[in-house]
Amino acid sequence: MKILLRNTSLDGKPLEGDGEVFTGERPLDVVMAMKGAALFSDHGSVTGYVDMVLRNAKMLAGIELTVSGDTPEALAESLLAALLENGLAEVLEEKPVAPPGRPVPIPEKVFRVIDSIRRSGITNMLDRPMVERLAREMGFEDEAAWIETNKKQYAEGLFRGFLPVRERRGR
């Protein structure tokens, strides 16, 4: 779970989209992350930390949060629910992260040309025909031919990265 803990204005109003993000598998993990990031977090227990949050919400924002629970897990769940209910926190959507693939091996000379065009900012690198044309205009015929011939490798390399491979020379 991913929670945005909102900052508040001086009059206690939650600031939209402004705050700090905390993540964890369970509510207790999120609250422990919050506790770890808190200034003066010398509260040894979850109960001590929750009490501090309740006092600060009332004193600084004028918001009285109602929290209950006999265990640290129940307290954490109740605290997050109260923060969400009062607009002091927001659940953020977690997008699944695709595992990164391995970089695509390409000839070192081709990599240098592609990287030079990328760094110039002249074109969007997804516009493969334009990258190919620019390589030709720069006098790199062999490299442009590689880009034209290896469309799939080029596209995969844009998303996974390129691994420049030095070509072996004959003896």
Per-residue pLDDT of 56-74, as tens digits, reads 888 877 889 999 989 999 9
Residue 98 lies in a domain: no
Residue 76 lies in a domain: yes
Dihedral sign (CA 53, 54, 56, 61): positive
Asked if 54 and 124 sit in the same domain, the reply is no
What is the pLDDT, as a whole number, of residue 100? 65
What is the pLDDT, as a whole number, of residue 84? 86
- Would you say how long the chain is, in residues? 171
Residue-number span of the structural domain to which 152 is assigned: 104-165
- Give 102-143 pLDDT, tens digit per residue: 899 999 999 999 999 999 888 889 889 999 999 999 999 999
Which of 67, 91, 115 is the endpoint of a domain? 91
Q: Between 61 and 53, where is the model more confident?
A: 53
Phi, psi of 147 (to 5 degrees): -60, -40
Asked if 87 and 111 sit in the same domain, the reply is no
Asked if 9 and 69 sit in the same domain, the reply is yes
DSSP state of 67: -
Residue 42 lies in a domain: yes
Number of domains in the chain: 2
Residue 170 lies in a domain: no
What is the pLDDT, as a whole number, of residue 37? 81
Cα–Cα separations (whole angstroms), residue 107 to 15, 112, 117, 143: 51, 9, 16, 9
* C-alpha closest to that of 82 among 57, 62, 47: 57
Asked if 82 and 111 sit in the same domain, the reply is no
Q: Do residues 104 and 157 make contact, with C-beta atoms less than 8 angstroms apart?
A: yes
Asked if 136 and 77 sit in the same domain, the reply is no
Q: Please state, rounded to an integer, the average pLDDT across all residues of the chain.
A: 86
Which of 41, 60, 91 is the endpoint of a domain? 91
Report which residue type is found at 46.
V
